[in-house]
Amino acid sequence: MYISRFLPRERFDDLIEALRAAGYPIVGPQVHDQAIVFDALNHAAQLPIGIVDEQSPGRYRLHASDTNRYFDWTTGPQALKPMTFVPRETLWRSVRQPDGQLEFSAEHADMPQTAVIGIRACDLAALAIQDRHFMHGPQSDPYYVQRRERLFLVAVNCMRSSDTCFCAATGDGPKVHTGQDLSLSELDEGFILEAHTGQAREILASLSIGPADDEQLDRAETGIKQAADNQRRSLPAGPLQEKLVGAVDHPHWQTLNDRCLTCGNCTAVCPTCFCQSHVEEISLNGQETRHDRQWESCFNPDHSYIHGIVIRAERPQRYRQWLTHKFGTWEEQFGRGGCTGCGRCIAWCPVGIDVTEELAAVCSPPTLTADSGGSPS
Amino acid sequence: MSYALTPFEAEVIERHDETPDLFSLQLRLTDATRQAQYRFVPGQFNMLYLPGMGEVPISIVSDPEDRHVINHTIRKVGSVTDNLGKLQVGDRLGLRGPYGRGWPIDAAEGTDLVVVTGGLGCAPSVSFIEYALRRQSRYGHIHIIQGVKHAHDFIWRERYELWRTYPDVDVWLTADTGDTLWPGKVGPVTQFFDQLSIAPQRTSVIMCGPEGMMNAVVRDMRQRNVPDTQIWLSMERNMHCAIGSCGRCQLGAKFVCRDGPVFNFAELAPYWGHKGV
């Protein structure tokens, strides 16, 4: 059992200072452009104090609440993904010499060690999934690994759930249980801190704070349980790969044709989506090129293009690919589904498509109606 | 470099135009040590790179025991392949590979081979034919079946005529549309199967080409009780990384670049025959 310490609210800056003293620049949640995003954090006053988020299909709003809590919001549009699998980066460069020879040079990631405060259970679970893809596959990705190994993660147990949250259904939250260095539960009067790694224990020791008492621990557990109990979205019983692959001809997919804009927002905010495209940047004189990779979405027709053919040319085919992969074939690839219940894809979908509703529909026998009986053209 | 994403420089040693839109390049890595260490299996592919244009996955057609050159036969289907077609002897380009899982050269040992190719210059299957012909004692009878759309699409006529002269090898040609000088039949590739006296448990089917043609062959071979695990297909999907990271080549749970491009039908069956998968 980890020893739980209590940090009074007015001393939160001491934690920030202790992390800085341990050599970490700090990144934490802040309100920018009416959303909670992660940015450089110097002191507690920058945190979203007394801010709660209201999320529902196609909707994300921040409101002031009547508390002074720092972490009473649930998720912003970002998870850890932009820090480890960055939106765009250079992999290598080529230079053509005057004699026609080509020289290639690999680029290297160079992120300083960084402490991130405020990461949630769903996002840590997503990080573990991306670790499997980028670090523990047949080829380890040095760009990802370099950044990943430099993260010190201060995670937060959620005491609130948004309407879009369903981490309890995927088994990933709201209590943090994997990948954190330090975890934090917020009470009105302060924070219960638990160290899970040696370095976190040193940082905790440097704060000279006393243990949390049983009543505080009980209140934290109750808060976490309430957050789970307040979630109302669920998933069909798994495993889902066979169900979804078997539902390839389900007429419900066709209904997405009239709803899904194929904008790719869901894949951009998803903390586990890993698709990439490789793009070339060429110098004006044509002699030097930069080979970059950037985030890519399976909702883009180009994603499945081969010599004159777009394999998933129809919108419903692209939605089907995303949902079938995320909840189904992901199981064979990574030993679990690719969703950690963060709910971002529901909130940030401009037309409010809810993955849990779509899954329920395609995992149920088709109901033949005049509207749903058409076959994909 | 443990991470196989940065290309190495290669040089064009020879080039041939096969048809107006099909050409072959003989390449050699300019680093002699790297060239000497380069190993591949028929059916694997390289990523070929032109600066400022990008990379394309191209299957390797040379014999794996030829340590001197790496051969590719390429169809002009887009900006990178069009410009690869403009390369001249001595020109430099980028190459990384080999990638993927090739043909079942060991699993198919001792079996008859039915090699079915649809379309133009289907390099992946040619690589296996050449490989098997040089090692004929390891395989049984070799049936080579080539289907083309139009009779005038047929290339490498001399090569097919040569293959026909080998013992225990037969060659069958067909076109959707023939012409007066067309030496083959007209119709689907499946029309020949009745004449091959297929022993299902001792037959390996090797195919590449349009998915519609492969679908017809799969259906026919399954009816003849050839096991799904002995029906092999070379698949194509969009690829950017070639190492199973970029996610673009997914076919169901498979990454075509890493788990394939060669699959047996049992691996593909759950996803087969559905548009847009």
The per-residue pLDDT for range A35-60, each reduced to its tens digit, is 999 999 999 999 999 999 999 999 99
B2 has pLDDT over 90: no
Mutate to test the interface with B, among A139, A242, A326 (most CBs of B within 10 A): A139
Can you give the pLDDT at residue A269?
Answer: 98
CB neighbourhood size of B272 (10 A): 17
Q: Kindly tell me the burial class for residue B106, based on how many C-beta atoms sit within 10 Å of its own C-beta (0-12, 13-18, 19 or more).
A: exposed
Residues A173 and A261 both lie in one domain: no
Can you give the pLDDT at residue A1?
Answer: 53
Can you give the pLDDT at residue B268?
Answer: 97
Cα three-residue angle A359-A360-A362, rounded to 5 degrees: 65
Two structure tokens written together for A215 = 């009543």
Confidence class for position B149, pLDDT limits 50, 70, 90: confident
Give chain A positions within 8 Å (CB) of B78: 307-308
Contact at CB, A305 and B3, closer than 8 angstroms: no
Contact at CB, A317 and B276, closer than 8 angstroms: yes
Contact at CB, A106 and B6, closer than 8 angstroms: yes
Can you give the pLDDT at residue B3?
Answer: 61
Query: Residue A54 — left, alpha, or beta (φ > 0 → left; ψ -120 to 50 → alpha)?
Result: beta
Question: Considering only residues 90 to 119 of chain B, which have any Cβ-Cβ distance to chain A shorter than 8 Å?
Answer: 90-94
Contact at CB, A104 and B9, closer than 8 angstroms: yes
Domain with A162 in it: 3-90+109-230
Can you give the pLDDT at residue B1?
Answer: 39
B155 has pLDDT over 90: no
How distant is the Cα of B237 from the closest Cα of chain A, in angstroms? Answer: 6
Instruction: With CA atoms as reference, report the closest residue to B126 among B15, B188, B206.
Output: B206
Length, in residues, of chain B: 277
d(CA B70, CA B248): 26
Q: Which of A104, A275, A329 sits opposite B94 (nearest CB)?
A: A104
Residues A53 and A190 both lie in one domain: yes
Can you give the pLDDT at residue B120?
Answer: 67
Can you give the pLDDT at residue B18?
Answer: 86
Can you give the pLDDT at residue A219?
Answer: 97
Q: Kindly tell me the burial class for residue A46, based on how many C-beta atoms sit within 10 Å of its own C-beta (0-12, 13-18, 19 or more).
A: middle
Q: Is B208 annotated as a binding residue?
A: no
How distant is the Cα of A177 from the closest Cα of chain B, in angstroms? Answer: 27
> Average pLDDT, stretch A262-271?
98
Query: A89 by DSSP, 3-state: which?
Result: strand
Query: A125 by DSSP, 3-state: which?
Result: helix
Q: Considering the domain boundaries, does residue A192 fall inside one? A: yes
Instruction: With CA atoms as reference, report the closest residue to A24 among A272, A144, A202.
Output: A202
Residues A63 and A187 both lie in one domain: yes
Residues A244 and A184 both lie in one domain: no
Residues A325 and A358 both lie in one domain: yes
Q: Which residue of B has its CA nearest to A134?
A: B245
Residues A143 and A215 both lie in one domain: yes
d(CA B245, CA B57): 15
Q: Which residue of A has its CA nearest to B274?
A: A248
Q: Is B122 annotated as a binding residue?
A: no
Contact at CB, A317 and B275, closer than 8 angstroms: yes
d(CA A364, CA A251): 11
Query: B140 by DSSP, 3-state: which?
Result: coil
Contact at CB, A275 and B243, closer than 8 angstroms: no
Are A161 and A346 in contact by the 8 Å Cβ rule? The answer is no
Q: Which of A102, A138, A278 sits opposite B92 (nearest CB)?
A: A102
Query: Residue B18 — left, alpha, or beta (φ > 0 → left; ψ -120 to 50 → alpha)?
Result: alpha
> Average pLDDT, stretch A80-106?
96
Q: Which of A248, A280, A307 sits opposite B277 (nearest CB)?
A: A248
Give chain B positions within 8 Å (CB) of A137: 244-245
Strand segments (E) across chain A: 4-8, 26-32, 35-40, 51-56, 59-64, 88-96, 102-106, 114-119, 151-156, 182-187, 190-195, 276-282, 288-295, 305-306, 309-310
CB neighbourhood size of B112 (10 A): 19
Among A164-168, B185-189, B229-233, name the one with the lowest average pLDDT: B185-189
d(CA B97, CA B99): 5
CB neighbourhood size of A263 (10 A): 15
Q: Considering the domain boundaries, does residue A371 fall inside one? A: no
Q: What is the pTM of this model?
A: 0.94
Contacts of A8 (CB under 8 A, 6+ apart): A189, A190, A209
- CATH 2.40.30.10 residue spans of chain B: 8-99
A303 has pLDDT over 80: yes
Q: Considering the domain boundaries, does residue A373 fall inside one? A: no
Can you give the pLDDT at residue B124?
Answer: 85
> Average pLDDT, stretch B83-110?
97
Residues A208 and A69 both lie in one domain: yes
B152 has pLDDT over 90: no
A376 has pLDDT over 50: no
Q: Which of B8, B51, B90 sits opposite A96 (nearest CB)?
A: B51
- CATH 3.40.50.80 residue spans of chain B: 105-271
Cis peptide before B98 (omega within 30 of 0): yes
A341 has pLDDT over 90: yes
Number of separate domains in chain A = 2
Radius of gyration (C-alpha) of chain A in whole angstroms: 23
- Topology classification of domain B8-99: Elongation Factor Tu (Ef-tu); domain 3 (2.40.30)
Cα three-residue angle B57-A146-A116, rounded to 5 degrees: 125
A374 has pLDDT over 50: no
* End position of a domain, from candidates A199, A230, A261: A230
Residues A263 and A172 both lie in one domain: no
Q: Is B249 annotated as a binding residue?
A: yes
Confidence class for position B141, pLDDT limits 50, 70, 90: very high
A189 has pLDDT over 70: yes
Q: Considering the domain boundaries, does residue A98 fall inside one? A: no
Does B55 reach chain A within 8 Å, measured CB to CB?
yes
H or E element: which one contains B237?
A: none
Confidence class for position B159, pLDDT limits 50, 70, 90: confident
Are B276 and B251 in contact by the 8 Å Cβ rule? The answer is no
Q: Which of A305, A330, A333 sits opposite B238 (nearest CB)?
A: A305
**Percentage above 90 pLDDT, chain A:** 93
Query: A158 by DSSP, 3-state: which?
Result: coil
Q: Where are the alpha helices (DSSP H) in chain B?
A: 32-37, 79-84, 123-133, 157-164, 211-223, 256-259, 265-268
A71 has pLDDT over 70: yes
How distant is the Cα of B8 from the closest Cα of chain A, in angstroms? Answer: 7
d(CA B204, CA B128): 12
Residues A117 and A263 both lie in one domain: no
Does B75 reach chain A within 8 Å, measured CB to CB?
yes
A105 has pLDDT over 80: yes
Among A92-96, A287-291, B11-15, B158-162, name the one with the lowest average pLDDT: B158-162
Give chain A positions within 8 Å (CB) of B3: 106, 139-142
CB neighbourhood size of B35 (10 A): 18
A82 has pLDDT over 90: yes
Distance of CA A284 to the CA centre of its chain: 37
Residues A260 and A205 both lie in one domain: no
Question: Considering only residues 7 to 26 of chain B, which have any Cβ-Cβ distance to chain A shorter than 8 Å?
Answer: 7-9
- Topology classification of domain B105-271: Rossmann fold (3.40.50)
Can you give the pLDDT at residue A375?
Answer: 46
Give chain A positions within 8 Å (CB) of B1: 106
Can you give the pLDDT at residue A238?
Answer: 87
Residues A45 and A139 both lie in one domain: yes
Residues A202 and A266 both lie in one domain: no
How distant is the Cα of B276 from the closest Cα of chain A, in angstroms? Answer: 4
Contact at CB, B276 and A307, closer than 8 angstroms: no
Give chain B positions within 8 Å (CB) of A317: 275-277
Question: Considering only residues 174 to 193 of chain B, which have any Cβ-Cβ distance to chain A shorter than 8 Å?
Answer: none
Mean pLDDT of chain A: 95
Contacts of A359 (CB under 8 A, 6+ apart): A235, A236, A240, A323, A327
Q: Where are the alpha helices (DSSP H) in A78-190?
A: 81-84, 121-134, 142-148, 167-170
Contact at CB, B9 and A298, closer than 8 angstroms: no
